[in-house]
Amino acid sequence: MNRRDLLRAAALALVPVSTRAAEAAVSRTRWITRGSEGFDAVAFMAPLSGDPFYVEYYEKAVAEFAPKMNPEALATLKDLKRDIAATDGLFSPFFDLYISAGPDATLGELLSSLDHPALLKAPLRASIYWDEYGEETWKRFVQRAPILRKILIAMREAGFPEFRRAIFDATAARRIPELRRRLAAADVVAEVEYFTGRKFDPEIEIILLEFCKPHGVKVIGQKFLTGIEYDDRIAIQTAAHELLHPPVDMRGRAATAALAVLRRDTVLQRIVKEHDPAFGYSTLEGILNEDLVKSLDQVISERLGVSDDPALRFVQQDGGMHVLAAGFYGLLKQTGFARTGGNLEQWLLGAATNGLLEPASLHAAAGLVMKRDPGRLWAPPPVAS
């Protein structure tokens, strides 16, 4: 995280703020809420692979379903997961992006898309993700699509649609109407426009999944994957967070100037090297993207009355690696941007050129938010014995 000197303690108080959304006669945001058998199947592959990070959340479901699977397909899944971890990071988010270019409501629709992966390319090329991931990553998806299809067929033969339905449907009957009522009062689009200076499509699609813990994932368009059992606040937080990605043009002048300063920060360089790779964010560019979003979604969540305590959040989340987010959050408060809004890209460029992102400034801001000594913002996770 980057940011500056002294933050007043009052700036950190969690006081529900009247939002522009509450005051507006008509909400800018139109919410769509639904489930997806296809996305849930891909999400379930992560715990089904035996990865202890995910099994912790779905131990009972894995114990019940894994014995029904073809052993060869399970072995293939484990190999595929290792392959993706070596080149593209997290398993489910990698596939989520590509399959979001086609229909996903049922396993059959997803299999049809994987039969003809070339049909997914045009929507992907038209999205914001093509510049980031490009042709080489697309080629890896196309190479893996038949392998993914083979595993999904094995899951279908093992009864995954019925297995998921027995768990998901009863919860969905209650949760979807509840969530729709709660979302109607949260004008996330208006808030994001207020702080970025950009216009957004007013439609947000929340796709509720049974097996996506602990993630929330943005895919093509304004579609977000979140857990059906997550608190209502988390759906709003997820939408605010994911809608902001990318927070600025990551190849533009502001991001380039910010990275030039942040690369001199030895604490951030240590975080890149020492944090648990299971959390992703393997480059400083990735951390800048994620942590600038986290800082601003914290501000928006406070304005919408759905926030978490920033000190607890930035100290506890992902092993405490989001020091940069705490610094950004503190500086957004300190400079008044959290109150006035404006153009985030211009704000970042100013912070990069006027000294706000220098280590002394950034660490002081982060320390005040995290309630830590600025010289002790980061401690790497213990090495497993």
With helix as H, strand as E and coil as C, how does 163-187 read?
Answer: HHHHHHHHHHHHHHHHHHHHHCCCC
Q: 89 by DSSP, 3-state: which?
A: coil
Mean pLDDT of 323-343: 98
- State how far the alpha carbon of 33 is from the alpha carbons of 168, 209, 211, 216, in Å: 14, 11, 17, 15
Read off the amino acid at residue 307: S
Among 322, 264, 320, which residue's Cα sits nearest to residue 296? 322
How far apart (Å, rounded) are the C-alpha atoms in residues 162 and 182?
29
pLDDT tens digit sequence for 1-33: 333 222 222 233 333 334 443 444 589 999 999
Under the banding of pLDDT at 50, 70 and 90, the label for residue 280 is: confident
pLDDT of amino acid 26: 82
Classify strands 223-227 and 203-209 as parallel, antiparallel or unpaired.
parallel
Phi, then psi, of 27 in degrees rounded to 5: -70, 140
Q: What is the mean pLDDT of residues 354-363?
A: 98
pLDDT value at residue 10: 28
Q: How far apart are CA 265 and CA 287, in angstroms?
A: 13
142-156 burial code (b ≥16 CB/10 A, e <16): eebbebbbbbbebbb
Over residues 222-279, the pLDDT tens digits come to 999 999 999 999 889 989 998 998 899 999 999 999 999 999 999 999 999 999 988 8
Q: How many CB atoms lie within 10 A of CB 203?
A: 13
* β-strands 217-218, 223-227 pairing: antiparallel
Q: Is the pLDDT of residue 35 over 60?
A: yes
> Taking 50 as the threshold, does the pLDDT of residue 82 lie above it?
yes
Looking at residue 13, what is its pLDDT? 32
The answer, as to whether pTM is greater than 0.85, is: no
Give the single-character DSSP code of 250.
Answer: T
Average pLDDT for the chain? 91
Contact assessment for residue 55 and residue 212, using Cβ atoms and an 8 Å cutoff: no
The predicted-structure confidence for 121-161, as pLDDT tens digits, reads as follows 999 999 988 988 899 999 999 999 999 999 999 999 999 99
